[in-house]
Amino acid sequence: MSSEASQKPQTTAPPVDRRWQMIASVLILLAALGLWGASRMKWATILVAPDLGPARVFTVNGSDWSPWLTPVGIAMAAAVVAQFALRGWALRIVAILVALGGVLAVIPAISLLTEGENNLYIVKMVDVPARAVIDGIPTESTPGYLVIASAVCAILGAVAMARTARQGGMSSKYSSPAARRDDLERQIFDERERAAASGEPTAPAANERLLWDSLDEGIDPTEDEEPRS
C-alpha cells in the first residue's frame, strides 16, 4: 500500500446545523426587537403637585428608566451576525454575553413591577425640578412583561447558539485561497484513493463543481500526483 493510502483522513468539524442557527437568530432578534420596543414605551408618569406652581406631568419612557435597553438590543443583533463567522470558544463567549444581557435586562423590569409607584429613583432620571412635590408615580406593567419575555428569548437563543459552537465554520467560498487549494487537493486525493481501491483506471473529479473549482485554483484534477519517496 502506498504512503498516500496509509495516511489517516484529516478530521474536520461537523457541518453547521442550520436549524439551530435559525432558531438562535429568530429568538435573539425577537429579544433585541422586544428590548428596543420596551425602551420606546411609556413606563411611568410622574405627577407633580401644584404646591409650588402649576401641576405638571412627566412621562417616563423605557429609555429613561433603563438607558441600556437599546444598547443591549443592538449588541444582541450584532451577535446574530457574529454567529455565522465564529466557532468554538469565541462563539461560546458570544452566547454567554447574550445570556448575560438578557439577565441584566430583567433588573429594571423587576424594579418596575415590584416597586412601582414607590420608586423615587426614576425622578432623578427625568427633568423634574429638585424642589417639586411628587404627588404620585403611576406605572405601566406591560413594558416590564415585554422585557421579561425578551430576556427569556435571549437566554434560549444563547443556548441554541452555543449548540453550534463545535460545528463547522464559514463556507469555503469565504476561505483564503491557500485554504481552498489545500481543501481541493485533499478532495482530489481522496477521489483518486477511492478510484484506486475500486480498480478504476482513472480517478475523475467528484463532480463538475469540484472540477471547475480545481481549474480556478490552478490544479489539474486529471493529472496524477508525482510519486512520493
State residue 143's pLDDT score. Answer: 92
Helix (H, G, I), strand (E, B) or coil at 56: strand
State residue 214's pLDDT score. Answer: 62
- Burial grade of 206 (CB within 10 A; 0-12, 13-18, 19 or more): middle
Helix (H, G, I), strand (E, B) or coil at 84: coil
Residue 101: CB atoms within 10 Å: 25
State residue 203's pLDDT score. Answer: 46
Q: How far apart are CA 97 and CA 108, in angstroms?
A: 18
What pLDDT tens digit does each residue of the chain (229 aa) get?
444 444 444 444 455 567 888 998 999 999 999 999 999 998 888 887 766 566 678 888 888 888 889 999 999 999 998 888 877 888 889 999 999 999 999 988 888 888 766 666 677 777 776 666 777 788 888 999 999 999 999 999 999 888 887 655 444 444 556 566 666 667 766 776 776 777 665 545 445 555 656 666 666 555 554 544 4
State residue 115's pLDDT score. Answer: 74
The yes or no reply on domain 18-163 and CATH 3.40.449 is no
Domains of the chain, residue spans: 18-163, 172-216
- Three cell numbers, residue 109: 423590569
What does pTM read for this prediction?
Answer: 0.62
